[in-house]
Homo-oligomer: A and B are copies of this chain.
Amino acid sequence: MNRRNFFKKTAVAGAATLLIPEIVNAAMPEFPSTNETQGSQLSKGNIILFQGDSITDAGRNRENEDKANDQQMLGRGYPLFAAAGILAQHAEKVLKIYNRGISGNKVFQLAERWNKDCIDLKPDVLSILIGVNDYWHTRNGQYKGTLEVYSTDYRTLIARTLKELPAAKIVICEPFLIHGGSALDDTWEPVFKAYRQVAKTIANEFKATFIPFQSVFNEALKKAPAAYWGADGVHPSLAGAQLMAQAWLKGTKI
């Protein structure tokens, strides 16, 4: 079965409807409405892994990192809220959900720890959000990676993952800016948009599910300013993290 189609099965009887704010529905018109599609192709005992940088890490407790479904292990970001939704919804499936995001990571740093923090966990669903540091850390000259490095490293990482875990369902999350945030200025967007495009291109190449977080935050900013969704423009607030989780759940149909 094609990985993309994994997430496109129709609803199972009695499936829940999903808390999808207007913002998410408006940002994701290409995804079918939840009532038509909500359901899950997850199998009993499936393992879900969230990977990424500080947005994923979100203060998770590393001492419990092998303790599936533990709240403090999951951190305080979108993986927590996505996991909560999944665990309440699919109790009978005895799923195991992990967060292995690490603050500051760029793609090459995921690669360095990929055996321990991804392959060895044998995820059935692997979600990755990476890219903001690949650009951000070039701005002060401490990191020399280019857009091409991001692209090559990311493509190599996904190919390696699918070689080791050919049945894994891959979710590629769009790196995003919450425009108006205090850490950003107008010089970010013209450069950073190319990083977003790379993530989308790689998702298409590997038939991965792509979660359009930039569209979600662009919609969100019509309702409230960056201070509400993520004050520095990079790290989401509680409301921002919840919005991401809802977009993730809608996009994956989990």
Contacts and interface: CB of A to CB of B under 8 A. Distances in A.
A56 to B, nearest CB: 16
Interface in A84-128: 84-85, 87-89, 91-92, 94
Given A16-B20, A18-B19, A85-B19, A91 B223 contact: yes
A168 B82 CA distance: 32
B17 A22 contact: no
A241 B74 CA distance: 15
Nearest to A87: B239
Specify how many copies of this chain sit in the oligomer. Answer: 2
Contacts of A21: 16, 88-89
Given A16-B21, A18-B19, A34-B17, A71 B81 contact: no
A23 B88 contact: yes
A91 B224 contact: yes
Contacts of A22: 14-16
Contacts of A243: 88
Contacts of A224: 91-92, 94
Nearest to A71: B238
Given A71-B76, A224-B92, A238 B87 contact: yes
A31 B142 CA distance: 57
Interface in A225-245: 228-229, 237-239, 241-243
A23 B238 CA distance: 26
Interface of A: 14-23, 25, 34-35, 69-72, 74, 76, 80-81, 83-85, 87-89, 91-92, 94, 220, 223-224, 228-229, 237-239, 241-243, 246, 249
19 contacts: A15-B22, A16-B20, A16-B21, A17-B18, A17-B19, A17-B34, A19-B249, A23-B88, A69-B238, A69-B239, A71-B237, A72-B76, A80-B238, A84-B239, A88-B243, A91-B223, A91-B224, A92-B223, A94-B224
